């Protein structure tokens, strides 16, 4: 691991445990030479070839070198206006209105560790010897613009963290029109583009297609990362799949509007950029001011998507998520939302809680409807005072009663929003995002509070802190249920209106920093109508996210499988809900619902008082089992075995770091008449070791134990035996013997 600089050849060689990333200064411009499997670094200078192209690729130094054109040079952070016609990583408008700005090398430093990103979520280190950071300082002296490109390589992770800080060193204003976090010019175009797309209740489905000439990519213009696209994109070399081949992945540590693009240009190379969406964005940089982009995480895997995912998982689980809950087993919870919706009182909640406790549940979460006069979604957001009609003794009494039962108390809030029908809105109608004189477009009967304003952020944070102090609250579900419209702020001058959406995110991050610091013992789970803001930015503050409002076990196979491409299983909330399922109307067996949900942060979201005795016994058994495998699920390595996007079957498994324990989950959606006798090949085991395999949760007895070779399980496979019927599922536990 480390960063080497060859001063003579002007080459930076960045190394992670298994990958290399090489930059060379060509006439002061940082050129991208290589990213891939680790190489030793002999003759790196020979990696870059330039030839003279026809006159449509301009030559900045025609008398010295006619082969050099910015239009063809693979670059690290390309600009616009001086001969590169591909899409730029940044664009700056100077005081004279012009935009032709070029940046070139000024200096660099290599530091141990990883400096934090001011005001933004980012991966971190706990000791300086865990990482090394290159800061490459680029300048344009005419414009007085400085950009510091930052690259961190980790000692234990095959990942590179990139970000950029712009500084206006001139005495005039300038305007940033785009400021991507990372750009890489890959030397080929024969890649597949893979990303995660969907909609509310159908989040993060895997999409894969061949790259074609021109621009392609994904973005959000919603002021949130969104259900529709995740800020993640990967390029797969020909033949790359789950277990093999080169994968180049990009993920943005940000929760607002983003863009991730791949441009295949005329000579068969591909430029990938990821960062803040330049659409409807600009940022006024006054003399002396600076602008920090969010962080992008770049992962190269020679072991296909599986290797990529395990790198993201380990990095995010250990060096993105923070706080005491990062390494603690997460509680099994019961959430009252699908059990009662808005229709509850203290008696009903305590009945639910008692039923939950008797099943082995550890945390009771009170969802929406406990404050103001919120009997439906038409009012009260912003009025964070308990509704004494429903909870006469307030949150404290409820919390204490739950604690007496032996349950922890968790609470839902939606702090970023305001209902037009609320005291807060009547008092402060200018506190929401809006454009004077225009309609204030509602969604779910609510408006977005203007978190670009410090006073609004402080007031909201005060209210939420008061709530958290008012009762023994140990868990918070932080929800956010609409996207931004009329993105304007009453507190910003006209020339800064297009900063509002990004300032909102900075305000939100400030609030989250404050609240999570003030309540270090509280476990926070973020949510946005399910998975509408499932991104690394939120995971920095809150180590888990409500994966989707869709709790149907079959739908969840795809949602959780897709999510697992990037995000660790310990970040995914997953609940067993009632049947027929409230989102899709499907009836699936309790076992399947439990098996899907225990492949995440396990919980229930149903009326536990309405379960039959038989169901209760089953649920008790599921919870007991989950508690046993919980460390494996939350901290083990995750391997995908069969994809729900490719057929009727899904399988995945968890393996402990020392490979002594594993849990294998298998799902078959529809029964097949006279079907094949299947074996599923396992992964991640020690081929030299033997494993005792116990089918679990098939019956309360847990099944009989048999001993298998790790090699046999991986190379020949585990035979799948399943009862007749649709929606079959199975769990096996493996223990090294
Ligand atoms: C959307 C969330 O995703 C649900 O789980 C629930 O909390 C509702 N909001 C409550 O309004």
DSSP string, 682-697: --SS-TTSEEEEEEES
From 413, 446, 529, mutation site for ligand 1 pocket: most ligand atoms within 8 A of C-beta: 529
Residue whose CA lies nearest to ligand 1 atom number 11: 368
732 C-alpha to ligand 1 centroid (Å): 33
Could you tell me which residues come within 8 angstroms of residue 347 by beta carbon, excluding any fewer than 6 positions away? none
Query: Tokens 């693009």 identify what position?
Result: 261
Query: Tokens 């952070």 identify what position?
Result: 77
What separation in angstroms does the CA of 242 have from each of 156, 245, 307, 309, 578? 22, 8, 8, 10, 33
Closest CA to 206 of 225, 232, 226: 232
Cα angle 13-18-21, degrees, rounded to a multiple of 5: 25
Profile the chain (737 residues) by mean pLDDT over runs of 10 residues.
Answer: 94 98 98 98 94 94 95 97 97 97 97 97 98 98 97 98 98 98 98 98 98 98 98 98 98 98 97 98 98 98 98 98 97 98 98 98 98 98 98 98 98 98 98 98 98 98 98 98 98 98 98 98 98 98 98 98 98 98 98 98 98 98 98 98 97 98 98 92 98 72 79 97 94 97
Residue whose CA lies nearest to ligand 1 atom number 9: 529
- What length does the chain have? 737
Q: What is the pLDDT of residue 437?
A: 96
From 376, 379, 479, 531, mutation site for ligand 1 pocket: most ligand atoms within 8 A of C-beta: 479
For residue 602, what are its two tokens? 């396990």
Cα distance between residue 230 and residue 547, in whole Å: 12
| Residue tagged active-site, from 367, 368, 421, 479 | 479
Phi, psi of 682 (to 5 degrees): -85, 170
Cα angle 699-655-700, degrees, rounded to a multiple of 5: 10
What separation in angstroms does the CA of 45 have from each of 8, 73, 536? 11, 14, 35
731 C-alpha to ligand 1 centroid (Å): 30
What separation in angstroms does the CA of 99 have from each of 82, 475, 507? 10, 49, 29
Catalytic residue flag (residue 423): no
From 344, 369, 415, 481, mutation site for ligand 1 pocket: most ligand atoms within 8 A of C-beta: 481
Q: What is the pLDDT of residue 1?
A: 67
Assess contact for 457 and 505: CB atoms under 8 A. Answer: no
What separation in angstroms does the CA of 385 have from each of 275, 411, 662? 38, 13, 46
Cα distance between residue 628 and residue 311, in whole Å: 25
| Residue tagged active-site, from 158, 367, 549, 637 | 549
361 C-alpha to ligand 1 centroid (Å): 20
Could you tell me which residues come within 8 angstroms of residue 14 by beta carbon, excluding any fewer than 6 positions away? 3, 20, 21, 22, 23, 134, 151, 153, 160
46 C-alpha to ligand 1 centroid (Å): 56
The CB density around residue 98, as the number of other CB atoms within 10 Å, is 11
528 C-alpha to ligand 1 centroid (Å): 8
381 C-alpha to ligand 1 centroid (Å): 13
Assess contact for 44 and 29: CB atoms under 8 A. Answer: no
439 C-alpha to ligand 1 centroid (Å): 26
From 339, 413, 527, mutation site for ligand 1 pocket: most ligand atoms within 8 A of C-beta: 527
Residue whose CA lies nearest to ligand 1 atom number 10: 368
Q: What is the pLDDT of residue 702?
A: 52
What separation in angstroms does the CA of 341 have from each of 135, 368, 446? 51, 7, 18
Catalytic residue flag (residue 479): yes
Q: What is the pLDDT of residue 699?
A: 46
Cα distance between residue 552 and residue 537, in whole Å: 27
Assess contact for 381 and 419: CB atoms under 8 A. Answer: yes
Q: How many CA atoms lie less than 13 Å away from 560 in the CB half-sphere? A: 34
Pocket of ligand 1 (CB under 6 A): 337, 367-368, 412, 479, 481, 527, 529-530, 546, 549
205 C-alpha to ligand 1 centroid (Å): 21
Could you tell me which residues come within 8 angstroms of residue 469 by beta carbon, excluding any fewer than 6 positions away? none
From 549, 551, 603, 606, mutation site for ligand 1 pocket: most ligand atoms within 8 A of C-beta: 549
Cα distance between residue 574 and residue 547, in whole Å: 7
Atom of ligand 1 nearest to the CA of 549: 3
Assess contact for 200 and 532: CB atoms under 8 A. Answer: yes
Atom of ligand 1 nearest to the CA of 546: 3
Strand partners, 74: none
The CB density around residue 494, as the number of other CB atoms within 10 Å, is 7
Residue whose CA lies nearest to ligand 1 atom number 2: 529
* 0.95 surpassed by pTM: yes
368 C-alpha to ligand 1 centroid (Å): 7
Assess contact for 309 and 303: CB atoms under 8 A. Answer: no
Assess contact for 200 and 566: CB atoms under 8 A. Answer: no
Atom of ligand 1 nearest to the CA of 477: 7
For residue 532, what are its two tokens? 């509408």
Phi, psi of 537 (to 5 degrees): -60, -50
Atom of ligand 1 nearest to the CA of 605: 5
Residue 221 region by backbone torsions, left for phi larger than 0, else alpha for psi between -120 and 50, else beta: alpha
Cα distance between residue 173 and residue 285, in whole Å: 6
326 C-alpha to ligand 1 centroid (Å): 24
């Amino acid at each position: 691991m480390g960063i080497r600089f060859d001063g003579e050849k002007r080459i930076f060689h960045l190394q992670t445990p298994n990958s290399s990333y090489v930059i060379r200064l060509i006439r002061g411009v940082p050129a991208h030479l290589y990213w891939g499997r680790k190489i030793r670094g002999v003759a790196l200078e020979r990696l870059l070839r330039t030839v003279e192209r026809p006159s449509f690729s301009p030559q900045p130094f025609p008398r010295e070198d006619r082969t050099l054109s910015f239009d063809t040079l693979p670059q690290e952070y390309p600009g616009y206006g001086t001969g590169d016609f591909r899409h730029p990583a940044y664009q700056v408008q100077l005081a004279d209105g012009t935009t032709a700005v070029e940046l070139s090398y000024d200096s660099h430093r290599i530091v141990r560790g990883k400096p934090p990103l001011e005001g933004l979520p980012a991966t971190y280190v706990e000791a300086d010897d865990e990482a090394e950071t290159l800061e490459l300082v680029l300048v344009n002296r005419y414009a007085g613009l400085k950009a510091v490109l930052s690259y961190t390589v980790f000692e234990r992770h095959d990942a590179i963290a990139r970000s950029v800080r712009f500084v206006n060193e001139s005495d005039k204003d300038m305007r940033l029109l785009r400021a991507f976090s990372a750009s890489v010019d890959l030397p080929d175009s024969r890649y597949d583009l893979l990303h995660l797309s969907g909609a509310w209740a159908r989040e993060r489905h895997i999409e894969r297609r061949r790259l074609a000439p021109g621009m392609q990519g994904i973005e959000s213009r919603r002021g949130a990362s969104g259900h529709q696209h995740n800020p993640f994109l990967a390029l797969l070399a020909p033949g790359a799949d789950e277990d093999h081949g080169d994968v180049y992945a990009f993920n943005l540590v940000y929760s607002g509007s983003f863009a991730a693009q791949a441009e295949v240009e005329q000579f068969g190379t591909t430029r990938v950029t990821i960062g803040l969406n330049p659409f409807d964005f600009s940022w006024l940089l006054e003399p002396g001011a600076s602008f920090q982009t969010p962080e992008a995480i770049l992962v190269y895997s020679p072991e296909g998507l599986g290797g990529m995912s395990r790198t993201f998982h380990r990095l995010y689980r250990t060096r993105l998520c923070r706080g005491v809950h990062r390494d603690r087993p997460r509680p099994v919870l019961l959430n009252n939302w699908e059990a009662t919706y808005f229709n509850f009182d203290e008696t009903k909640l305590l009945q639910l809680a008692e039923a939950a406790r008797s099943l082995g549940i550890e945390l009771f979460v009170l969802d929406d409807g406990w404050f103001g006069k919120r009997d439906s979604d038409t009012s009260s957001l912003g009025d964070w005072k308990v509704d004494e009609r429903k909870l006469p003794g307030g949150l404290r009494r409820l919390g204490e009663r739950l604690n007496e039962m032996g349950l922890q108390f968790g609470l839902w809030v939606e702090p970023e929003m305001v209902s037009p029908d609320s005291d807060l809105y009547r008092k402060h109608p200018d506190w929401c995002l809006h454009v004077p004189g225009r309609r204030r477009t509602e969604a779910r009967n609510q408006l977005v509070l203007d978190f670009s304003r410090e006073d609004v952020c402080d007031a909201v944070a005060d209210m939420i802190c008061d709530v958290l102090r008012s009762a023994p609250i140990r868990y918070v579900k932080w929800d956010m249920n609409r996207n931004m419209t009329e993105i304007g702020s009453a507190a910003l001058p006209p020339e800064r209106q297009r900063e509002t959406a990004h300032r909102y995110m900075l305000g939100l991050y400030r609030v989250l920093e404050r609240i999570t610091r003030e309540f270090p013992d509280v476990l926070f789970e973020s949510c946005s109508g399910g998975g509408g803001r499932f991104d690394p930015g939120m995971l920095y503050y809150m180590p888990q996210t409500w994966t989707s409002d869709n709790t149907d076990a079959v739908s969840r196979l795809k949602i959780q499988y897709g999510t697992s491409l990037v995000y660790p299983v310990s970040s995914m909330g997953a609940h067993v809900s009632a049947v027929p399922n409230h989102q899709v109307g499907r009836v699936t067996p309790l076992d399947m619902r439990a098996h899907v949900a225990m492949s995440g942060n396990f919980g229930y979201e149903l009326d536990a008082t309405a379960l039959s005795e038989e169901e209760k016994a089953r649920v008790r058994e599921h919870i007991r089992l989950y508690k046993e495998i919980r460390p494996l699920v939350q901290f083990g390595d995750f391997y995908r075995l069969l994809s729900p996007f490719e057929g009727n079957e899904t399988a995945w498994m968890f393996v402990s770091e020392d490979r002594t324990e594993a849990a294998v989950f298998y799902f078959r959606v529809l029964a097949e008449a006279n079907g094949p006798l299947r074996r599923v090949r396992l992964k991640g085991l020690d081929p030299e070791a033997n494993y005792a395999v116990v089918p679990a949760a098939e019956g309360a007895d847990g099944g009989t134990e048999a001993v298998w070779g790790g090699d046999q399980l991986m190379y020949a496979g585990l035979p799948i035996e399943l009862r007749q019927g649709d929606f079959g599922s199975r769990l096996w536990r493996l223990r090294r013997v």
